Amino acid sequence: MTTHSNTSAGPLHGLLVVDLTRALAGPHAAMMLGDLGAEVIKVENPAGGDDTRGWGPPFVQPEDAPRESTYFLCANRNKRSVTLDLKDARGKDALRELIRRADVLLENFRPGVLDKLGFSQQALGELNPRLVVLSISGFGHDGPEAARAGYDQIAQGEAGLMSVTGSGPHDLQRVGVPIADLLAGMYGAFGVLAALQERSRTGRGQVVRSSLLSAVVGVHAFQGTKWTVAAQVGEASGNHHPSICPYGLFDTADGAVQIAVGSEGLWRRFCDGFGLDPAADGMETNPQRVANQKQVNELVASAFALYSTDELLDKLDAIGVPAGRIRSIREVYEWEQTQSQGLLIDVDHATLGRITLPGPPLRFFDTDGAERTRRTHTAPPVLGADNALLEAVGR
């Protein structure tokens, strides 16, 4: 196999990843590995490819070319696409050849489906004992509900995330991005790297399993221990923190500002800046303020209503209280700070031409502080763009 020619090869240069996944969790994991320099071969069904190629709008359709889904574009940069019918003997043979050469295999079929296709865990190990397999499911690969299909919004509800998201207990909301999918992909990529590190010592691969359920439970954070240790059930509390006060969203004269008064020192600084008494009855400590959150928030809201958003942010910055505005997605990508972090990349797409994509969230530096040359990224592939690769593996 040959790799793309990049200005900087990336820390995973030389690794070959075979990506059998579709939708978002698995493709996101594979994209993370591709961002780091691995060569990712995305194996798609010839009849339409990854489901997300049809998810939209929005679609972008250049003249005399198939339309492209912006959803697909979000999770498939730095990959190649080959098409294989895994129910066909020739397709299975081609996949076996890829697996023999691969370092990592990613799959997110329902538990048992890969076995039925002839690629059980035992079969994979016989084909390639060094293979690291990432397997992502909806609710886990065993247990009483292992057979359930996993979709992000269902997982957000079943895993408790929606119960603590929204304006209140009677207005539950999903997170505005497919966070269960994304977290499962991130945990999966993390597990793959750990397994590869162990393989460097043992010479053998292993199977890494994650799920949408486990990924969401894995980020319950204080909401989890609130129940497991204190036996208290968290509820949706809108834009204000249930354990820190004042901490949340407040209106200004012309918009809104968020503040994070996360320590007693910050509380005193905040009060000094706005002429408030930090030791007022029921407000001296954070637990007292949380217990009297309605009163505290009303006091803060009254003070903030006198300022425009820009004026208030300047004042909060001057007194050293963490604060920020609410930006639209467009404003985030137009923000100079976002651009300075390499979070926008320009790539050449086979049919769309030059396009801009959100970029990877990691940067690498030498120990002397110099940033390493950022690698050249490639656009998400059109379906079957790299089928010629199959000839190289003996199809």
- Is 50 known to be catalytic? no
Give the three-state DSSP class for 286.
Answer: helix
Q: With CA atoms as reference, report the closest residue to 385 among 17, 108, 46.
A: 46
Which amino acid type is present at position 344? L
Which amino acid is it at 159?
A
DSSP 224-244: HHHHHTT-------TTB-SSS
Residues contacting residue 188 through CB under 8 Å, at least 6 positions apart: 25, 26, 29, 106, 134, 136, 208, 210
Q: Rounded CA gap, 392 and 1, in Å?
A: 7
Residue 301 φ then ψ, to 5°: -60, -40
Give the three-state DSSP class for 330: helix
Strand ranges for 138-206 from DSSP E: 166-168, 171-172
> CA 14 to CA 103: how far, in whole Å?
9
Q: Give the active site residue among 181, 277, 281, 348.
A: 181
283: exposed, middle or buried (Cβ count in 10 Å: 0-12, 13-18, 19+): buried
Catalytic positions, written as ranges: 181
